[in-house]
């Protein structure tokens, strides 16, 4: 091996047999040279310079604990909602995207417009199923981390349901706006009720069933119930063009406001019972 001067020097350990002896020899000799001492005042002055920098590191990395234990402000809640969105997988977003695209395409197309009312009638079911889906990320380890967190299960569920509700509203919006623009504010308000009440009712029901029996039974029963109602309405309407007929019957039914209130109340009550059961950990799922 050559070093920088170009002279050849052996590089393997055994090729410096005398080095060990030289090191011992030189160790005592070299120790005779001492540096001028560093004055204690200078050491202390240097430490004094460094202490504030260390303190700054301490401050930048300590969370504000009083904040984590008190009321949650709006900004924090939004961050929590965004966090819930990150738990939803790509297939979910694709399905949402497809439904939205379907909505818009059908609205734009005159020929297929009747289909849009069919889609609209299915939206409450989509809402309920998406709520069950949103809970499936919280299992096992993640569920325990959520339980042990300062955010708390109640706020986590609230943020999750908020996210789902906003997404469902976005899905329903094209139809609501389109029909409302054509038929006026009163019809729009009735259509909103016709969408909101079944959505909340089905969501509450599915949550309640989920807290007892888990995913598939809750989804299955809810699909059965809503499907049966639609089919019943369809049979009364003669099946052909049934969707528009069913929707018209719902929207222009004089009992709609009362039924909507009942549906909302039932949905909220069952939903709350289901959430409480989930939060207490007594459910079949946790």
Partner 1 sequence: MDPLPDETLFARLMKGDEEALETLFARYAPPLYGFLWRLTSDQALAEDLLQEVFIRLVNYAGKPPLYFRAWLYTIARNLAYSSLRAHGREQAHRAYSVAESDEVLKDTTQNLPEKVILSRDNEERVRQSLERLPDEQREVVLLRFYQGLSLEEIAAVVEVSLGTVKSRLYRALRLLRGMLLREEMKENER
Partner 2 sequence: MLRGISKSFDGAPVLRRITLDLHEGVVAILGPNGAGKTTLMRILATVLAPDEGALECNDLQGEAALAATRSQVGYLPQSLELPQHLTPRGLLSYVTSLKRLVVSDEAAMQLLAELGLETVANQPLGQLSDGQRRLAAVAQAFLGRPSLILLDEFSAGLDVAEREAVYRLINAVKPGSLVVVTSNLPAEVGKIAQTLVVLRDGELRFAGNAADLVRQAQGMVWEACLPENEANSTMERYRLSRLRQVNGGVSVRMVGAAPELADARPVEPTLEDAYLLLMGNALKR
User: Partners of 8 in the beta sheet?
Assistant: 2
Distances (CA, A) of 8 to 2, 3, 4: 5, 7, 10
Q: Are 163 and 81 in contact (CB under 8 A)?
A: yes
Give least dist CB 147 to partner 2, A: 5
Asked if 9 interacts with partner 1 (CB under 8 A), we say yes
Residue 106: closest CA among 123, 90, 92, 91 = 123
- Binding residues for partner 1, total number by CB under 8 A: 43
Other C-beta atoms closer than 10 Å to the C-beta of 268 total 14
Binding to partner 2 (CB under 8 A) within 81-120 occurs at 82-83, 86-87, 89-90
Which one of partner 1, partner 2, none interacts with residue 122, CB within 5 to 8 A by kind?
none
Q: Which residues 6+ apart lie within 8 Å of 123 measured at CB?
A: 168, 171, 172, 195, 199
Other C-beta atoms closer than 10 Å to the C-beta of 94 total 10
Which one of partner 2, partner 1, none interacts with residue 53, CB within 5 to 8 A by kind?
partner 1
Give the DSSP letter of residue 13: G
Give least dist CB 65 to partner 1, A: 16
Give least dist CB 249 to partner 2, A: 42
Which one of partner 1, partner 2, none interacts with residue 57, CB within 5 to 8 A by kind?
partner 1
Binding to partner 1 (CB under 8 A) within 42-101 occurs at 42-43, 46-47, 49-51, 53-62
Which one of partner 2, partner 1, none interacts with residue 185, CB within 5 to 8 A by kind?
none
For partner 2, the closer of residues 31 and 57 by Cβ is 57
Which one of partner 1, partner 2, none interacts with residue 7, CB within 5 to 8 A by kind?
partner 1
- Binding residues for partner 2, total number by CB under 8 A: 34
Which one of partner 1, partner 2, none interacts with residue 255, CB within 5 to 8 A by kind?
none
For partner 1, the closer of residues 46 and 98 by Cβ is 46
Give least dist CB 64 to partner 2, A: 8
Q: Which residues 6+ apart lie within 8 Å of 221 measured at CB?
A: 205, 209
CA 144/CA 263 separation, integer angstroms? 33
Residue 222: closest CA among 274, 160, 157, 171 = 274
Give least dist CB 153 to partner 2, A: 10
Give least dist CB 65 to partner 2, A: 6
Using only C-alpha atoms, the chain has a radius of gyration, in whole angstroms, of: 34
Asked if 193 interacts with partner 2 (CB under 8 A), we say no
Other C-beta atoms closer than 10 Å to the C-beta of 59 total 7
Please provide the size of the chain in residues.
Answer: 286
User: In the chain, what is the straight-line distance between the N-terminal and C-terminal CA atoms, in Å?
Assistant: 67
Give least dist CB 92 to partner 2, A: 10
Residues near partner 2 (CB under 8 A) are 58, 61-63, 65, 67-69, 72, 76, 79-80, 82-83, 86-87, 89-90, 137, 139-142, 144-152, 156, 281
């Amino acid at each position: 091996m050559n070093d920088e001067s170009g002279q050849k020097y052996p590089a393997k350990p055994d090729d410096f047999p005398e080095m060990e002896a030289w090191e011992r020899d030189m160790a005592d000799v070299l120790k005779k040279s001492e540096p001028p001492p560093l004055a204690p005042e200078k050491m202390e002055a240097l430490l004094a310079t460094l202490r504030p920098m260390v303190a700054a590191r301490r401050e930048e990395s300590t969370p504000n604990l009083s904040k984590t234990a008190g009321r949650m402000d709006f900004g924090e809640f939004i961050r929590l909602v965004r966090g819930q969105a990150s738990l939803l997988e790509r297939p979910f977003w694709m399905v949402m995207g497809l439904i939205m695209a379907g909505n818009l395409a059908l609205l734009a197309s005159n020929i297929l417009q009747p289909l849009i009312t069919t889609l609209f009638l299915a939206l409450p079911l989509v809402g309920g199923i998406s709520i069950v889906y949103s809970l499936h990320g919280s299992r096992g380890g993640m569920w325990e981390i959520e339980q042990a967190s300062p955010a708390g299960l109640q706020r986590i569920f609230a943020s999750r349901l908020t996210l789902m509700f906003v997404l469902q509203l976005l899905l329903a919006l094209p139809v609501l706006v389109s029909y409302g623009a054509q038929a006026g504010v009163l019809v729009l308000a009735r259509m909103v009720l016709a969408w909101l009440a079944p959505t909340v009712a089905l969501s509450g029901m599915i949550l309640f069933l989920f807290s007892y029996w888990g995913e598939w039974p809750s989804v299955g029963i809810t699909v059965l119930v809503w499907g049966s109602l639609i089919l019943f309405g369809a049979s009364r309407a003669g099946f052909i063009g049934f969707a528009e007929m069913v929707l018209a019957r719902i929207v222009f039914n004089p009992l709609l406001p009362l039924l909507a209130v009942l549906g909302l109340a039932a949905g909220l009550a069952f939903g709350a019972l289901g959430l409480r059961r989930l939060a207490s950990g007594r459910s079949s799922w946790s």
